[in-house]
Amino acid sequence: MSDGTEFPSDSQGAGDRAAERRAVSRYSLIAEVEVFDPIERTKLKASVSEIGAHGCYVRVPDPLKEHTVIQLLIQRRGEAFKSWGMVVYVHEGQGMGINFFRPEPSQVKTLLSWIGDLRVQRQAL
């Protein structure tokens, strides 16, 4: 019995579809990140593999739960970006997508500088 709901028939993964829907580009970036969950009082050390103006992907074998509010600190070439964020999707055993929210203006400046550098590197390839 069908209720009229149709599911995609292609084999494209959810992460690939999410990437197609993104409003802003993400750039490859390998950097250290500390993720702190203030409710559970847990800290993770992991690595960022992608970053954009609104979020990043953190590679970690045991990701936090979706909708967890976190603080994160990303270190790159002697600079740091600190922001609050939220886990917006999870790939069990692989990592999690983080959406930044309300970074301080000085932090936005650092992030946009990194993205500018990464954009130039991408265009040079």
| Residue 21 banded pLDDT, cuts 50, 70, 90 | low
pLDDT, averaged across the chain = 86
* Strand pairing class (26-37; 55-59): unpaired
Residue of 4 and 88 predicted with greater confidence:
88
In this predicted structure, what is the pLDDT of residue 95? 97
Average pLDDT, integer, range 90-97: 97
In angstroms, the CA 93 to CA 90 distance is 9
Give per-residue pLDDT as tens, 36-55: 999 999 999 999 999 999 99
Is residue 35 pLDDT above 70, yes or no?
Answer: yes
pLDDT at position 99, please?
A: 97
What CA–CA distances, in Å, run from 88 to 29, 67, 117? 19, 6, 26
Looking at residues 73-99, what average pLDDT do you find? 97
Identity (one letter) of the amino acid at 116? G
Is the model more confident about 125 or about 9? Answer: 125
- To the question of domain 23-124 being in CATH 3.30.460.10, the answer is no
What pLDDT is recorded for position 121? 84
* Domain ranges (residues) in the chain: 23-124
Tell me how far apart the alpha carbons of residues 14 and 108 are, in angstroms, rounded to a whole number. 29
Take residue 96 and report the two structure tokens written for it.
């999690």
